[in-house]
Amino acid sequence: MIVMTDISYDVDGTTMIGRLAFDDTSDETSRPGVVLFHEGGGQDDNVRTRAERLAALGYVAFAADYFGDGRQLPLDRGQARLGELMSDPDQIRRLGRVALDILLADPRVDAARTAAFGYCFGGTMALELGRSGADLRAIVGFHPGLGTKRPEDSRNIVASVLMLCGSDDPILPPETRQAFENEMREAGVEDWRIEVYGGVGHSFTNPEIDARGLGDAFRYDKRADERSWASALALLSERFGSA
């Protein structure tokens, strides 16, 4: 049986509510762990469902919160929050580190086998956690934010890096992807990869995105969703072995 439990925690005086997922019928006492960071709209069913799916595969997963109260924010407030975070890598890294520590505190988690998944700005969260030197084995970004105020810190990344992007994503034009490639090369990151899905826009993994009315560039794409998920799981299998 998959157990989903909400965990309340504090970062810089703000109460965050994340969701931990694991299989309580498994006899495995030392399992790989994955921390997941939500899209720029806030904590939602998509990231919580991904945590549940990982738990069903034998991982311990923690869907973190970086807005507060484990909820979505109205568009204007969410954008204001993202603007604040974009200008403050230290705050991003604190939020990511506390979330990773929540995952590591679970006695089922093997601290030597952890990964970070991020969706939209959650990809930025995962990458900044890696840039801080966190001991992760994999960093996966789905339609991720790639920019950083401190590209030189990518030399601290020890994880395998996989970024999964739509070719028509207005947030990730070709020049942004190229800048990220340059950053990875210049930082000497040993194992990095970008997959680009043709004709696909932003938020392509989120079945709820169409209903939010954000325009044609923000659409769910079932094929890209399935392909990106398969690529992410393949990387976890490569880095961790069987969960």
The domains of the chain are located at 2-238
Q: What proportion of the chain, given as a percentage, has pLDDT over 70?
A: 99
pTM (2 d.p.): 0.96
Q: DSSP of 35-73, one letter per residue?
A: EEE--TTBS-HHHHHHHHHHHHTT-EEEE--SSSTT-B-
Q: What is the pLDDT of residues 26-62, one digit of tens each?
A: 777 799 999 999 999 889 999 999 999 999 999 999 9
Whole-number pLDDT of residue 78: 78
Spell out the CATH class of 2-238. Answer: alpha beta
β partners of residue 163: 141, 194
CB-count exposure of residue 110 (10 Å: 0-12, 13-18, 19+): middle
What b-and-e string marks burial along 117-154, b requiring 16 or more CB atoms within 10 Å of the CB? bbbbbbbbbbbbbbbbebebbbbbbbbbbbebeebebb
C-alpha angle with apex 36: 81 to 144, nearest 5 degrees?
Answer: 60
173 Cβ neighbours under 8 A, 6+ residues apart: none
Predicted local confidence at residue 243, as pLDDT: 60
> Could you tell me if 131 and 90 are in contact, meaning their C-beta atoms sit under 8 angstroms apart?
no
- For residue 242, what pLDDT is reported? 63
